[in-house]
Amino acid sequence: MGTTPRPAAETMSAVGPGPAGLVLPAPARAAVLDHLRATWPAEGCALLSGRTDAAGWWTVEAVHPAANVAEPACRHDRFEVDPAALFALMRTLREGPSRLIGHAHSHPGRPAVPSEIDRRAAHDPDLIWVIASLTGPDDPAPTLNAWAVAGWTPDGGADGFRPLPVRETAPAAPQHTPVQH
């Protein structure tokens, strides 16, 4: 089975400019947070599928909860997406218009910023990292931030992360007004 070529706007290179921002519709945000709250006090994780528009905004179309298969004693401060879930999702997305655009994970009791562990674990520079800071399983106002990998190397992971704006809806396309003579 072959793969369908993707339009240039839907492909990003590890050396390219990367995403302009993340569109996380309210239902997708709720699905992410519901799953991550349910895994408290461990870090929870999920995969995100969607599309990229011509302006570089990546839109989450579906949230795919995944098991954290990191060593049980380490799950309080690290995550590892179940490889079986990742490969199953990649097979599902192979022929469709959507693609894997990122993953989400929680930082129980810690800020929604990438940790040193996250930096070292950034094995795919083309994925967005969504991180939710939760103060408990019933946190009514969690912080959720999105990040793009910056300065990635195969041996060392990310040199850092670049914060991304997060919106509930895509930004309006610029209006082109014809010039009147």
Alpha-helix residue ranges (DSSP H) falling in the chain: 26-38, 83-93, 116-121
Check residues 149 and 159 and name the one with the higher pLDDT: 149
> What pLDDT is recorded for position 12?
41
pLDDT at 121: 86
Determine contact, residues 105/43, Cβ cutoff 8 Å.
yes
pLDDT band at 181 (very low <50, low <70, confident <90, very high): low
Say whether pTM exceeds 0.75.
Answer: yes
* Cα-to-chain-centroid distance, residue 155: 21
Nearest-angstrom CA–CA distance, 122 and 118: 6
Q: What is the DSSP letter of 73?
A: G
SS (H, E, C) 78-108: CCCECHHHHHHHHHHHCCCCCEEEEEEEEEE
pLDDT in tens, 55-79: 999 999 999 999 999 999 999 999 9
CA nearest neighbour of 36 among 75, 65, 69, 71: 65
Q: Specify the CATH number of the domain 18-167.
A: 3.40.140.10
For all residues of the chain together, what is the average pLDDT? 87
Per the structure block, which two tokens stand in for 136?
């408990």
pLDDT digits (tens, 9 = 90+) for 108-149: 999 999 999 998 888 888 899 999 999 999 999 999 999 999
The pLDDT confidence band at residue 170, using thresholds 50, 70 and 90, is confident
Query: What pLDDT does 154 receive?
Result: 73
- Domain spans, the chain: 18-167
